Structure 1
């Protein structure tokens, strides 16, 4: 804060006429008072937006940090499944347009694959950015919210597929519009 106040004071004193500064000490006092008031208005204390998360210390300072058991396949099944679903979206998306026919089974497969792909992607975001050990209730709320949203979107896609034109026909109509 001192460097901010100092720079504005120096600017005001430098911009003042030399004769007024040399002859009138009251003029200097008013410049300093106004500058201090202006810099105090423009600068604020740095406060965090959110309070810190709850901290919990287990053990003492001399205890070793607990190391979880390692497993080489931990996470690899999820990663492989995510990549397979993402890679399968390309042919499933292109097949109806290349073949020129819209089949309900192919359309339902596309909707299910998109739904699974979206769900696992958002689930990975929740796992990465909402740690269970720091905010367990928020993690559970986000997970339940994701599950509820997935069910709602799945029901909406089912209704759209059975009672309306379907996803592939919608894409075709938008493309030709």
Structure 2
């Protein structure tokens, strides 16, 4: 009696399986597997990460105060305000070429430049947030250079598309009416 109390519910379910008919055995085994998966999520086991942890280093001692970063207005409210202004300016720049009825190449180029700046600053914010400089300085530099290269390539491609082809707004207009 004491041994049955000490067994886990999964072991008791598996121990009862051979005494049951085949259909009931299959259902019982499936429910045992589901229950085992539910229970296993709450057990503490050895974690095996896909990637090894980044190198750890401790600077200072336990009694040192937390370092306060140097203030910079370009990384604070000015940066946020610029991002919001660019995002808000996309609304009229997207609607204006179609609402006016005439397609203006200057307005089209302004729309392309604003989309490019908006995309660049958005991806830059993602890199700043998710690739910390103090833990992975080489990866951060690689991502920043990759973003700058991609921005230049897309800028040149948009310039070529605007000067040698019909432009972005005309292309959107043609696709919309197709």
Q: Which residue of 2 aligns with 1:32?
A: none
**Distance (Å, rounded) in 1 between the aligned partners of 2:147 and 2:8:** 52
- Normalising to structure 1: TM-score of the pair? 0.77
Shift, 1:71, TM fit:
6.3
Q: Which one has a bigger Cα radius of gyration? A: 1
Correspondence list, 1:10-89, <5 A: 10-17=12-19, 46-69=47-70, 74-89=75-90
Q: Which residue of 1 aligns with 2:30?
A: none
Shift, 1:14, TM fit:
1.2
- Normalising to structure 2: TM-score of the pair? 0.76
SS at match of 1:79: helix
Shift, 1:57, TM fit:
1.2
What are the superposed Cα offsets for residues 29-82 of structure 1, whole Å, 9 maximum, x if unpaired?
xxxxxxxxxx9xxx9953011111111112233333322345688510010000
Q: Which residue of 2 aligns with 1:146?
A: 147
- Structure 2: gaps spanning 5 or more residues: 1-6, 21-35
**Distance (Å, rounded) in 1 between the aligned partners of 2:46 and 2:62:** 33
- Structure 1: gaps spanning 5 or more residues: 19-38
**Distance (Å, rounded) in 1 between the aligned partners of 2:130 and 2:138:** 14
What are the superposed Cα offsets for residues 111-159 of structure 1, whole Å, 9 maximum, x if unpaired?
0000000000000000011110111100000000000000000000000
